[in-house]
Structure 1
Amino acid sequence: MGRVYELVAERLAGEPALRRVASGEEARRSLVRAVGEALARDAAFARRLDELLDGPLPFPGGAVISARDGSVAAWSIDSVHTHTHTHVAQTPLDRRAQALARQVLAQEEREWKRLVGGDLKPIDLAYTYLPEPGRNAGNAAERGRQVAARETVPDIAAYYRRITPRRLLITGAPGAGKTVLALDLMIALIRPPGEAAPRLPYEPVPVRLPLSGWDTDEPLRGHLTDRLIRAFGLSPAHARELVDERRILPVLDGLDEMDPPLPDGTPDPAAPRARAVLSALNDYQDGLQAAPVILLCRTGHYEVLRDGPLRDATRVEIAPVAPDDARAYLTDRAKDPARWEPLLRALRDEPDGTLARFLSTPWRLCLTATVYEAGGDPAGLLGFATPAALDAHLLARYVPAATRLRARPGYPAERVHAWLHRLARQMDDEGHPDIQLHRLWPLPGRKRVCVADGRVATALCALGTPFALLAPTPDRTAAALLMVLTSALFTSWTVVHENVNPPFVLHLRLLLSVPHRRGRAVAGAAASVALGLGYGLFYGYAEADRWAGLALGLGLGAALAGVLVLGSGFLTGLVGPPPRAASPRDGVLDDAFRGLLGGLCFGGGAGILFADRGGWAYGMAEGVSWGIGMALTLGAAGRRYAVFTLCARRDGLLPLRLGAFLDWACEAGLMRLSGPAYQFRHGELQRWLAEHPPGAVPSPSSPPPASAQESTVS
């Protein structure tokens, strides 16, 4: 028996789950499950165990494992999974990971539905294993499917679970469905189909990170930690603990977006940022093993990086969508099958033709289904001779079709196209696919926005002038006007600078949901009370009638303390990440609220102090002007965004409620969410919009150009 246990120990030595469990019953259950999984996915291990066994293998505590056919005699894997979920006490780290998993699941399920066009029956993508030079992960199947597992073909979750180590590289052509496949895998890892419990406590939580925003000078650990803090509301300590304990499974999307292409549009072989990412991932370890990771990249971009590949990983290449699968997808989406019959017949009869090759990616199938969902004749596509002509025809009709299907007052197709054209041009100029609201302000012109920002600040600070004119004496009026002017000049000088810090994130629920923030709020409130009452005691002691002065001073001090508690106490307790997955709009909105709260605090305190010395009018003048100045300074990102939207709306560049428009564009399938940023639904759509202002686009009802009608599908 010694050789049997030695073989099992050798096979399971690298299992991360077994290194994290305690002794006793939990260890026994985890061991049973790990052996069962190893037997099920590793035929060589099962054969070697069979050679040593003439019967079942007993484990301490009564568990019995049989190597025959890779089965578990004492408990099935599913039973162990459920039993572990039900009876094993979870640690605080387990509970935090489970809470994070729920947030990720809610966010990614919404995004998955958007990307598949609201259709709950997506294309069942196929993929094949491509061995790479050097070290590959073990136990990889030759092929797999996205969802519909066959007897000998695993679905994406089963495929991923069987590879060792669990490092997966997904490559494919543009629009091949890499992101949808990764989202499907993430959802299945968090909530396996048919399971009541979402996941085992010790399993890592998949978290999607867009690579375009990673400063590669920052370690991967720091990038993961920052993502958890900003996007999911974790405290820095909790985020670092999850990352250090390898409870996070990084899902890195957009390696091909890290570096600009060469002038001819081909991938740059140098690609310094992409190579830095691969180097960081090769150094990313869990103990003595390569740590789990999922990486997405376009095939052409990864091919030029193969001299420095991702090590210890399994690379799968997404196959083109077969004509039969394309026909099934379009048939399911068709509301009027007879209208689609000529196109479906062409896909059946010409499986190698231009149309079949064109409709071999999920993006182009979704594009076609959307364009013709509300009307038109899909048979018109048969008259195009080249994929480029088909692309141009469909992209010119995509925005009007999506706008019509998700109609909303104030969003006519022409305006939507113009607004998206402006955003696409801006993203092309920046060389960055992420649309972050606080970074858009240069779009109408840097100087224009900065000057407008200064004018708005000056006008708002001058709102204290009427109160200054009500002061009881001329000298008080002059002093109040001087203070108002000083506040206006100082604030306008502060806000006209081009550099604006990223927005702070603020959320009232933090006081109720995050204990360490409640402590910070209490500390801020206590300091405010001490400051206010200290001022009151000092004021009272300085008066001639000390008892009367002391009473008045304590009253003023209590009022000042109340204002400061409202402001600084909340600010101290609330500044930080939100307790849920962040929306791209949260940053600028919360930053503006932070400025408002800080302005109330500062302005109220200043008003009380100045009213004590110069009367209520004097105090109101100073409180209003300095409070507004502080609000504009603290809420810099929110203020600059508001001024930018006013300028852009006045120039007809963008809608006034830009965030609401971009949220609608995500629902309409024109944009997508990528963490705390928006992106165009597809890079091909972004490039087309950047190159085609509304006036350069043919009418959606125009017939195909004569040059495109040279032949039928061949």
Structure 2
Amino acid sequence: MTREFGALVRQWRGRAQLTQEQLAEKAKISVRTVRRLETGAVSNFRFDTVRMLADALDLTADEHRELMAAAGVVPALPGKPETRPDVSSPLAAVADRLAAVLEGRWQRELEQRGAHNPFPLPVRWQPVPGELADHWDNIRRVPPKHTASPLDLTGDLTEIADVYRRVPSGRLVVLGRAGAGKTILALRFVLDYLATRTSADPVPVIFSLASWDPAAGTLRDWLVNRLLRDHPDLVANAPGGSTQAAALVDAGRVLPVLDGFDEIPEVLRRAALLALNGTSLPMLLTSRPHEYRKAVAASDVLTWAAGIWIADLTPADLADYLRRSSRTSRWHPVLTELRDQPDAPASKNLIEVLSTPLMVVLARTIYDDAESDPADLLDTSRFPTSGDLEDHLLGNFVPTLYRTPAAGVRRDWTSDRAQRWLGNLARHLDRLGTPDLAWWQLGNSLSRPARVLGVVLASAIVTTLADWLIYLPGYVRDSGFASGFGLGLLDGLLLGPVVGLGFGLVYTLMIFGGVVFEPARVRMRLFGWNGRTSVARTFAARSGAGLLGGFVVGFVHQLMATAGRGVLHGFPSPIGALIETTLTNMLVFGATFALAAAVAFGLTSVLEAPVDLDSATSPLAMLRTNRTTVLGRVLVLAPTFVLTIAFGGMLVAALLDGPLSWPLSYGLSAGALGGVTGALSYTFAFTAWGQWLLFARVWLPLSGKLPWAVTAFLDDAYRRGVLRQVGAVYQFRHARLQDHLSRARDTPLRTHATLREPRTSL
């Protein structure tokens, strides 16, 4: 069929007097694709590609059907005509840019993981049992009352994109046991698909399904949120008013690669599968077989989906890979034993363990130095079962990686400390129920009361120090050094807790109300807004919130200030005059702070723009971008508060025409205190970077749960191969490793070198 198809294309291209390059340009596909189609190098055909070729060749209706028949493709849905994507639209350019970013990102990640050193482990598969896939009539989407024969889905890791393209429905389930290579297969699929993608094709994007709660929101909304998290530049406005991320999903320009269906909590898997079946999105879904089978039994198969099952590695695969992975002969005795005595208990255990790429990589890493002997793996007295062998490999992986200090990192990062810190991170992820290690969620490893206490202390300390800095010299000048110094210290010590408790109360209401502080998806820039909503709408929303919040803060501040002055100096009489003065102060300060907050928060909306692509290429790059954004907001908020409080107070006092005076000097000092206190307390309490700074950089290191140089430690763990990068977050190299570290105790773990018993010679 492929040769017939290629002959037809060559025949009609010659009739149209087009070169391969001209046909490729006219059809909006690559020259490489045209060449492969004409030479029969492609055995699978996409409906869109065939249709674009037919349109470019100006075929008649009969010729169009003949070409379709030669390709063996059918439209996406019976009775539903497909529309050709507009490759010249602005959204197509956004999709192309996203594809380029993903290709570079995943290529770097593949190289970092060493998946091709010295060559990729062979990952092969066979079709899943019939009860785990849909009917072939549905998979091939033939019209009603027609039948379809099965497709050939056999292949290996180098052919996964081609195998997927053979499936007319665009839905493929990949099953494999833990460590079988499903994630690497998904990564390889994305890269190979992107290598031959045209502007009319969707962009494959990997999504870790463990963080999806189908009861909390639709798949569409979750996909959009994940895109915005990993690609914050897609928050920019798209035609129609939505974000570019939402527009890409709605237009079918995103091909979801849903990795880890088995990592969804068991109680949610049935609902998740039903939700997937409620969409018509093409997708590639990975899962462990047992978990997927149970979900299918409780609901149904993934509609329109074909399925493949990753096969175990064979002893021959191990022999070739381990022999070529080392210049020494240390693996030769082990490989010889596996070949000559495959039925011996030690060989059977080791063959079972090393039947997945994960365990092979762990074994190779642990026994990659002259001091280790892989023959220990055949010692049944130490490892009587395959489970004991797996525990040994998982337990020694991290100590092996941290056995030698990396260049440019702290020397006190011993394997014991690294094991303890990584164990804390793994338990933190277990509590959150996600594999995504997000820097902005590290503080969530603390209890909510502890986080509230941290915000209260931070705001109180900031306020007290600012009060001393601004007002203490005035107290000393007016009342003498001894008396003034004491009064100034006491004033700051009273005001600090009041402000701290105020911010703590608001913070408590927010976190107990389910508010999550996520990284800002914008950067500060002078003029030129091009965000997801209009300037007027954003300015109005933020100014309104600032107006209300500022009035409450100013109103309560004066109430507490009167109480503080009464404690310090006594309450004057008559009490009626005090009440009248206090109410006037509360009204003036409330109106002044409301005006200041409205102007300050409204101004930030004018100076924000979506982040650049280059600023979100990794978790630490996003952290640096958010630090810059937050500091930029502080630089806007603080001086704006100072000026609006100083001059706004004068305006309010004049409009009220009451007994209260508002000298400029007083307004500037009050504005300085409000600006510094408000901007910094806002940062610590209500921004993702402030929460990171307060908890991950101070609290958790103080308690010994993380090192002081947290960012350097995470980056080092990534470079050593313990962690991997998935967009804006880290993940452990494998869920099995995370589970093992989560269960590990703080006691030092003996490495394989100390576990090995002395060898005696005969």
* TM bracket, shorter-chain basis: 0.7 to 0.9
Match of 1:293? 283
Match of 2:659? none
Deviation for aligned residue 1:605: 2.5
1:383 equivalent among 369, 373, 379: 379
Give the match's secondary structure for 1:441: helix
1:224 and 1:374, CA in 2 relative to 1: closer, same or farther beyond 3 A? Answer: same
Do the aligned residues in 2 keep the contact of 1:424 with 1:690 (CA within 8 Å)? yes
Residues 1:691 and 2:743 aligned together: yes
2:417 equivalent among 415, 418, 423: 415
Match of 2:642? 607
Match of 1:437? 439
1:335 and 1:649, CA in 2 relative to 1: closer, same or farther beyond 3 A? Answer: farther
Residues 1:332 and 2:321 aligned together: no
User: CA RMSD of the aligned region, Å?
Assistant: 4.5
Match of 1:151? none
Match of 1:174? 178
Deviation for aligned residue 1:301: 0.8
1:102 equivalent among 77, 100, 103: 100
Match of 1:279? 274
Do the aligned residues in 1 keep the contact of 2:205 with 2:254 (CA within 8 Å)? yes
Give the match's secondary structure for 2:752: coil
Do the aligned residues in 2 keep the contact of 1:510 with 1:579 (CA within 8 Å)? no
Matches within 5 A, 1:199-210: 199-210=197-208
- Provide the C-alpha distance between the structure 2 equivalents of 1:632 and 1:676, rounded to a whole number of angstroms: 26
Q: Which stretches in structure 1 are left out of the alignment for 5+ residues?
A: 9-23, 46-56, 73-83, 148-154, 193-198, 260-270, 286-290, 532-560, 710-714
- Provide the C-alpha distance between the structure 1 equivalents of 2:181 and 2:611, rounded to a whole number of angstroms: 31
1:318 equivalent among 288, 303, 310: 310
1:405 and 1:356, CA in 2 relative to 1: closer, same or farther beyond 3 A? Answer: farther
Do the aligned residues in 1 keep the contact of 2:28 with 2:198 (CA within 8 Å)? no
1:574 equivalent among 584, 592, 608: 608
- Provide the C-alpha distance between the structure 1 equivalents of 2:607 and 2:678, rounded to a whole number of angstroms: 22
Give the match's secondary structure for 2:619: coil
Do the aligned residues in 1 keep the contact of 2:125 with 2:156 (CA within 8 Å)? yes
1:346 equivalent among 315, 323, 337: 337
Residues 1:364 and 2:359 aligned together: yes
Do the aligned residues in 2 keep the contact of 1:563 with 1:604 (CA within 8 Å)? no
Deviation for aligned residue 1:373: 1.7
Match of 2:212? 214
Match of 1:702? 754
Do the aligned residues in 1 keep the contact of 2:179 with 2:358 (CA within 8 Å)? yes
1:140 equivalent among 151, 156, 175: 151
Deviation for aligned residue 1:130: 1.8
Do the aligned residues in 1 keep the contact of 2:522 with 2:629 (CA within 8 Å)? no
Residues 1:629 and 2:629 aligned together: no
Match of 2:80? none
Do the aligned residues in 2 keep the contact of 1:518 with 1:573 (CA within 8 Å)? no
Do the aligned residues in 2 keep the contact of 1:509 with 1:579 (CA within 8 Å)? no
Match of 1:231? 230
Do the aligned residues in 2 keep the contact of 1:468 with 1:621 (CA within 8 Å)? no
- Provide the C-alpha distance between the structure 2 equivalents of 1:334 and 1:188, rounded to a whole number of angstroms: 28
Match of 1:454? 456
- Provide the C-alpha distance between the structure 1 equivalents of 2:156 and 2:525, rounded to a whole number of angstroms: 42
Deviation for aligned residue 1:430: 3.8
Residues 1:399 and 2:398 aligned together: yes
1:617 and 1:121, CA in 2 relative to 1: closer, same or farther beyond 3 A? Answer: farther
1:501 equivalent among 508, 512, 516: 516
Match of 2:17? none
- Provide the C-alpha distance between the structure 2 equivalents of 1:509 and 1:331, rounded to a whole number of angstroms: 54
Residues 1:647 and 2:699 aligned together: yes
Residue 220 of structure 2 aligns with an amino acid whose one-letter code is: R
Residues 1:468 and 2:471 aligned together: yes
Match of 1:161? 165
Match of 1:546? none
- Provide the C-alpha distance between the structure 1 equivalents of 2:694 and 2:58, rounded to a whole number of angstroms: 72
1:577 and 1:191, CA in 2 relative to 1: closer, same or farther beyond 3 A? Answer: same
- Provide the C-alpha distance between the structure 1 equivalents of 2:716 and 2:675, rounded to a whole number of angstroms: 38
- Provide the C-alpha distance between the structure 1 equivalents of 2:267 and 2:526, rounded to a whole number of angstroms: 43
Match of 2:259? 253
Match of 1:190? 194
Residue 712 of structure 2 aligns with an amino acid whose one-letter code is: A
Deviation for aligned residue 1:585: 4.4
Residue 161 of structure 1 aligns with an amino acid whose one-letter code is: R
Residue 159 of structure 1 aligns with an amino acid whose one-letter code is: V
Deviation for aligned residue 1:238: 2.1
- Provide the C-alpha distance between the structure 1 equivalents of 2:431 and 2:294, rounded to a whole number of angstroms: 25
Do the aligned residues in 2 keep the contact of 1:517 with 1:573 (CA within 8 Å)? no
1:15-71 CA deviation, whole Å, 9 max, x = no partner? xxxxxxxxx9957989x979979996479x9xxxxxxxxxxx993499999989969
Give the match's secondary structure for 1:679: strand
2:503 equivalent among 468, 491, 494: 491
- Provide the C-alpha distance between the structure 1 equivalents of 2:613 and 2:369, rounded to a whole number of angstroms: 40
1:94-123 CA deviation, whole Å, 9 max, x = no partner? 211100101111222233233445726211
2:296 equivalent among 300, 303, 306: 306
Give the match's secondary structure for 1:320: coil
Matches within 5 A, 1:73-152: 90-116=88-114, 119=117, 121-133=119-131, 134-136=134-136, 137-138=139-140, 140-147=151-158
Aligned residue pairs total 599
1:177 and 1:142, CA in 2 relative to 1: closer, same or farther beyond 3 A? Answer: same
Deviation for aligned residue 1:571: 4.5
- Provide the C-alpha distance between the structure 1 equivalents of 2:630 and 2:25, rounded to a whole number of angstroms: 54
Give the match's secondary structure for 2:721: coil
Give the match's secondary structure for 2:755: coil
1:537-588 CA deviation, whole Å, 9 max, x = no partner? xxxxxxxxxxxxxxxxxxxxxxxx9999998545444365663555334666
- Provide the C-alpha distance between the structure 2 equivalents of 1:566 and 1:692, rounded to a whole number of angstroms: 49
Residue 244 of structure 1 aligns with an amino acid whose one-letter code is: D
Deviation for aligned residue 1:492: 4.6
1:513 and 1:618, CA in 2 relative to 1: closer, same or farther beyond 3 A? Answer: closer
- Provide the C-alpha distance between the structure 2 equivalents of 1:378 and 1:510, rounded to a whole number of angstroms: 58
Do the aligned residues in 2 keep the contact of 1:252 with 1:295 (CA within 8 Å)? yes
Structure 2 length-normalised TM: 0.69
Deviation for aligned residue 1:522: 13
- Provide the C-alpha distance between the structure 2 equivalents of 1:29 and 1:469, rounded to a whole number of angstroms: 72
1:664 and 1:28, CA in 2 relative to 1: closer, same or farther beyond 3 A? Answer: closer
Do the aligned residues in 1 keep the contact of 2:617 with 2:728 (CA within 8 Å)? yes
Give the match's secondary structure for 1:415: helix
Do the aligned residues in 1 keep the contact of 2:182 with 2:286 (CA within 8 Å)? yes
Deviation for aligned residue 1:676: 3.1
1:200-224 CA deviation, whole Å, 9 max, x = no partner? 1010100111111113132222222
Deviation for aligned residue 1:158: 1.3
1:275 and 1:386, CA in 2 relative to 1: closer, same or farther beyond 3 A? Answer: same
Identity, in percent, stands at 27
- Provide the C-alpha distance between the structure 2 equivalents of 1:131 and 1:159, rounded to a whole number of angstroms: 17
